[in-house]
């Protein structure tokens, strides 16, 4: 795209009263922002715009405002991504009202390309339990190649971002401010880390300050980028539930971590589970719901990893452990007395062998003194 096309896309974003839904319709109708501005008044009206919206597109001050915003974005080091361009996130473009323009910093395109994407959201007033769960699940998903998206807010959002990048994975923050206005300021350092491990995205012009109305509005972008949305903690009326409802409208999966029924921040996830959201206890519950190619790739890699760990552990066994393994079966529990009779080991040696095999993940104890071999 040339400079003129970027400026026109920003002008469409800034046009008063047009909005993202009408902006998408115009780009579908006229193929680009530039050709939209070249269209006649009658063509714009025929496309479904109101007269006020048409006049907003004809505002003589709009080109200058768009030019200034173009320069401000470039000064902030932002990539300008118009709807309809090759670099626009395809899943987001398919939603009902995607942003007309995105402003991005960092390797966010690489973080989205060919990767499963899960949004993790929740309360700003998160409990220690909630933060720990969000961080752990985000880390476990990131280690398995899942890109974690959230909103950079304090609480669950920050914990999810932190868990992903600490695990060496990728995470993207969707901001409710301009690309050059990190909020809250306490997450400045976290934002810097995200610029190395995923990136920052926003639809708001440079220097847009934090405003209460912006954050629920940006939630549709969080869910629109993802295959599914995980809610960790949220009150029964919260922005996280807005994100979950938007995800459902966009055809995305919704997952929720259950919580204490007496906790206000557990009300949201528990309600979602009651209404059909997938109950999540660990990363595996999320992966099971991903589209088949991603799910199978991750689970196949996990099984291979477990097999290698088992083979490694099996190679490092004593004579007594090897003898005990010989008589253990994966599908038939063996009683300790039966094992003693077959192995001819004394009680102490057999107990030591079974205990060590459990520690190595090669055997599992069952109630009543029975043992099985782990695959």
User: To the nearest whole percent, how much of the chain has pLDDT over 70?
Assistant: 97
**Mean pLDDT score, 41-51:** 94
Question: Per-residue pLDDT averaged across 4-23, rounded?
Answer: 95
Task: Tell me where in the chain the CATH 3.40.50.450 domain(s) lie.
Answer: 108-293
Helices (H), the chain: 3-14, 19-30, 33-38, 41-46, 51-57, 62-75, 90-93, 108-112, 128-143, 156-166, 188-197, 214-225, 239-249, 267-274, 283-287, 292-314, 319-327, 336-343, 347-359
pLDDT in tens, 281-316: 999 999 999 999 999 999 998 887 766 655 555 567
Give the pLDDT confidence of 358-371 residue by residue, as tens digits.
888 888 999 999 99
Domain with CATH 1.10.10.10 in the chain: 316-373
CATH for 316-373 is 1.10.10.10
CA distances from 44 to 25, 89, 98, 364, 373 (A): 11, 26, 20, 70, 71
pLDDT of residue 311: 57
DSSP 93: H
| Residue 276 confidence (pLDDT) | 94
Confidence of residue 318 (pLDDT cuts 50, 70, 90): confident
Residue 164 scores a pLDDT above 90 = yes
CA–CA separation, 177 vs 304, rounded Å? Answer: 43
Lowest pLDDT segment from 74-88, 247-261, 354-368: 354-368
Residue 209 reports pLDDT greater than 90: yes
As a whole number of angstroms, the distance between CA 104 and CA 100 comes to 13
pLDDT at 308: 64
Burial 313-330 (b: 16+ CB within 10 A, else e): beeebeebbebbbeebee
Give me the pLDDT at residue 309, please.
58
Q: Angle at Cα 244 formed by Cα 243 and Cα 249, nearest 5°? A: 95
Rounded to an integer, the average pLDDT of 130-155 is 96
Hey, CA dihedral for 199, 202, 207, 209, is it positive or negative?
Answer: negative
What pLDDT does residue 21 have?
Answer: 94
Give the C-alpha distances (Å, rounded to integers) separating 100 from 46, 129, 155, 375.
20, 38, 29, 52
pLDDT digits (tens, 9 = 90+) for 330-344: 778 999 999 999 999
Report the C-alpha gap between 230 and 163 in whole angstroms.
Answer: 14
Token representation of residue 79: 């990539």
pLDDT of 238 over the 90 cut = no
Predicted pLDDT at 189: 97
Residue 193 in tokens: 């880390």
What CATH number is given for 108-293 in this structure? 3.40.50.450
Q: Give the three-class secondary structure for 186.
A: helix
Shortest CA distance to 90 belongs to which of 253, 224, 243? Answer: 224
Q: How far apart are the first and last CA of the chain?
A: 55
């Amino acid at each position: 795209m040339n400079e003129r096309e970027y400026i026109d896309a920003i002008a469409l974003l800034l046009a008063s009263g047009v909005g993202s839904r009408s902006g998408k319709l115009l780009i579908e109708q006229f193929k680009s922002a530039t050709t939209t501005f070249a269209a006649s008044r009658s063509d714009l009206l025929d496309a479904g715009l109101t007269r006020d919206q048409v006049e907003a597109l004809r505002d003589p001050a709009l080109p200058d405002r768009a030019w200034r915003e173009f320069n401000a974005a470039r000064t902030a080091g932002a990539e300008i991504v118009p709807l309809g361009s090759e670099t626009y996130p395809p899943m987001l473009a398919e939603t009902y009202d995607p942003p007309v323009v995105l402003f991005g910093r960092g390797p966010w395109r690489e973080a989205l390309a060919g990767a499963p994407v899960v949004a993790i959201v929740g309360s700003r007033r998160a409990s220690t339990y909630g933060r720990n769960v969000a961080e752990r699940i985000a880390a476990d998903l990131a280690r398995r190649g899942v890109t974690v998206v959230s909103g950079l807010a304090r609480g669950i959002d920050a914990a999810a971002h932190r868990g992903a990048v600490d695990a060496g994975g990728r995470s993207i923050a969707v901001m409710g401010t301009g690309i050059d206005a990190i909020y809250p300021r306490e997450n400045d350092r976290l934002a810097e880390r995200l610029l190395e491990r995923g990136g920052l995205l926003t639809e708001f012009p440079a220097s847009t300050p934090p405003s209460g109305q912006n954050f629920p509005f940006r939630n549709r972008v969080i869910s629109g980028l993802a295959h599914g949305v995980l809610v960790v903690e949220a009150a029964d009326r919260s922005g996280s539930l807005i994100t979950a409802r938007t995800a459902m409208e966009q055809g995305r999966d919704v997952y929720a971590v259950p919580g204490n029924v007496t906790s206000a921040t557990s009300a949201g996830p528990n309600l979602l589970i009651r209404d059909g959201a997938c109950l999540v206890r660990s990363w595996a519950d999320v992966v099971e719901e991903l589209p088949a190619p991603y799910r199978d790739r991750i689970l196949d890699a996990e099984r291979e990893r477990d097999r290698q760990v088992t083979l490694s552990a099996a190679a490092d066994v004593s004579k007594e452990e090897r003898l005990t393994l010989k008589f253990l079966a994966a599908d038939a529990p063996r009683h300790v007395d039966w094992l003693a009779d077959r192995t001819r080991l004394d009680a102490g040696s057999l107990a030591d062998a079974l205990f060590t095999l459990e520690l190595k993940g090669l055997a599992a104890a069952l109630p009543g003194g029975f043992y099985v071999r782990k695959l």
